[in-house]
Amino acid sequence: MSESASLFHDSISRVESENAISEAIDSDVHAQIATSTLRATRKTRRTKKSPDGMPVDEAAAEERALLENLKTVRDRSLELRRRAVAQAFEFADQCRAFAERLPSAQVLAFIEQECRIPRTEAQSYLKLTEVLGPEREMLQESAVEVPVLFQLLKQPEAVRTEALSMLRSGRTLSRASLRALRQDVLAGEERGKPDRSPIKELQRAVRTRARNFIERLLQDLAGLANAYAALYNETVPEDRSPETVARVDALAADARRLADRLAAAAPADLFTARPNDGRSWGQVYSTLRLIADRKLCLDEDWSWPETHPLWMEEIFHKDLVWALGQEIPELEGRRRPIPKGVAPLDCKPRSAASRPSSAFQYTVLELCAGAGGQAIGLHAAGFWHAGIVENNPEAVETLRTNRPSWPIIEADLNTLDVSQFKGVDLIAGGLPCQPYSQAGHRRGAEDERDLFDRTLQIIETVRPRAVMIENVVGITHVTHILRRLSVLSALESLGYDAEWRVIDGPSFGLGQNRRRAILVAMQPGLMHRFRWPLPPEMAPMPVGTLLRDLMGARGWKGLDRWVAKANRVAPTLIGGSAKKMGMDLAQPKSRESWTRLGINPRWVAREAPGPDFEGEPYLTMPMLARLQDFPDNWLFAGSRRWQFRQIANAFPPRLSRVMGLAILRALSGVEIDLRIALQAPLFKRIDLAELRALELARELAEAAE
């Protein structure tokens, strides 16, 4: 282990105990009050009589005990707060020492990810000694709260100077009083400037009128979109019946009225801005004109990124699809306006849907796709694949056999030109895990199979809105801390916020004790919307229940006894390495876990046990695939050894779907009930009637001002 790694390793336990100093203070003070009160009560009871046995004034004794208790708690409270200030500065000194030996980005990543300290506080610790170091003794003596220290760092110099003067004078400074002080100091600096309140009042009145217009316009757009989707679902382009002609004429008239209202309300340059952006008002306007001219359908092939995949044969015109094929919230009367720069975020599921109604609005480029476990899950969550990259011929054949319409790219990731994928919403990948696996040599970045550096280059080129990389739990061990920090700091230098966590398969209903380390990164303004998936209330799937039909497919008489014995989740499947020649399910140390389930882990059978089979059965390839949550009709190409490797190395679709929905929530703001989603099939027919118009109120409101 390097000297820097050793320095981090020795510091972790101490740092983790200091990353919530203010909370610890409150807890300790409450505990001290309770303890001191109990001691005072006991002391009062002991002093009810004088040493010679004569009674004393019980009220006086209780008063003295109370005073002593108050003094003890006061002194203890001040001591704890002073100690907290000293510890905060001590931790800041340690961080400064790290910064002299490691890049500052890695130090920030260490404080935030390993010590679980929010990034704003992490940066504050690096600045604490520099900005407030000369006042260290005074701040410690004043027993100021640690959060107030951090707030002081963020204040303008005039506010900070006044606050420090107050503390030197003996005042107590809270966060609320600091906010009030800031307002007063800044108000003093604003004295004499012109009063702009009349202008702001007029702006509010204009915005209110614009919002009323927009709400009515969006209601009409939503109605037009629904009517158009219904026409598409219920007719074909060749239909020339009187009823269909009348429906088309009605749509054309409504579209013409909406287009005229738009043209009258907004300047002409609004409709020419960002002509290639599917979310511009120019697209909406041109779409309305197309409908008004009855140009509803168009035959064309689709390819990334020119067209959308949902309309592949006899399709809507792509301008109309992009403009009206998105989601718009239902408007029920007046609603509170959303502040500028704020995107709506649901906190509760709105329906029993298994994915957002605007499914496939968001695109993903997938790296190291393997047999498709991650791709299946992301598709089920509602992502559209712009590209699926894999270099193993057997895995590529598996993907093409099962989903010939998917954009499979057989290529070496190190030489692939990814510039064509600029603008995708998500980059996802299951990078080779062998460099960090407990079953391997754990060489990390020194392993030739490690692809993190190449992935960072791809992220820099493509600039996705979000990133999701899965790997084995071994990458979170302390031996790889510097590698994790280098990845986190590299992502930060590219402008991404990132976190690394571990998710547990059985918690989400997986029938296998599979835990995966997940790295999620997002562009600024999105990470605060991301929430690591919370396990729904669902029991893990026992192996016997999960595999009963497959194990009994040939009439095995011992099936019921085996199901009763296999009443737990399976151990983690291993064997994904290309260097592994056999098809055994476990290392020697973990074979006992399989045998307790009544399974022989030393081989993979070609078929289920026969009627008179005795002993512990082997699992078959379909059984292994189901343990990994693959659909039963998913076919695997190649030799049996390569099929085994593809299955064992997969990211289970169930876990991929869980992560995909979590990322979609951050991107779209739509909450999906995870329990309902996990009960839905992995593949379903797309219902075009669910698609609604895109809400673009903010752009039009700004234009109306």
The catalytic residues are 433
List C-alpha distances in Å: 316 to 231, 319, 385.
Answer: 11, 8, 20
Report helix, strand or coil for 233.
helix
Choose among 534, 537, 498: nearest CA to 518: 498
Q: Which residues contact 492 (CB under 8 A, 6 or more apart)?
A: 105, 108, 109, 498
**Token pair of 200, please?**
């702001």
Tell me how far apart the alpha carbons of residues 458 and 412 are, in angstroms, rounded to a whole number. 13
The DSSP line for 176-216 is: HHHHHHHHHHHHHHHTTSPP-HHHHHHHHHHHHHHHHHHHH
Burial of 687 (0-12, 13-18, 19+ CB in 10 A): exposed
User: Is there a contact between 57 and 73 (Cβ–Cβ < 8 Å)?
Assistant: no
Give the span between the Cα atoms of 562 and 558, in whole angstroms.
6
Task: Give the three-class secondary structure for 493.
Answer: helix
CA distance 596 to 275: 64
Measured from the Cβ of residue 341, the count of other Cβ atoms closer than 10 Å reads 7
Q: How far is the C-alpha of 382 from the C-alpha of 407, rounded, in Å?
A: 16
- The amino acid that residue 55 corresponds to is P
| Cis ω for the linkage preceding 305 (within 30 of 0) | yes
Within 10 angstroms of residue 404's Cβ, the number of other Cβ atoms is 8
CB-CB contact of 394 with 387 (8 Å):
no
**Burial of 40 from C-beta contacts in 10 A (0-12 / 13-18 / 19+):** buried
Q: How many degrees, rounded to 5, is the angle at CA 360 between CA 357 and CA 363?
A: 140
Is the Cβ–Cβ distance between 479 and 624 less than 8 Å? no
Question: Rounded CA gap, 682 and 630, in Å?
Answer: 9
Q: Are the C-beta atoms of residues 375 and 407 closer than 8 Å to each other?
A: no
Contact 604, 582 (CB under 8 A): no
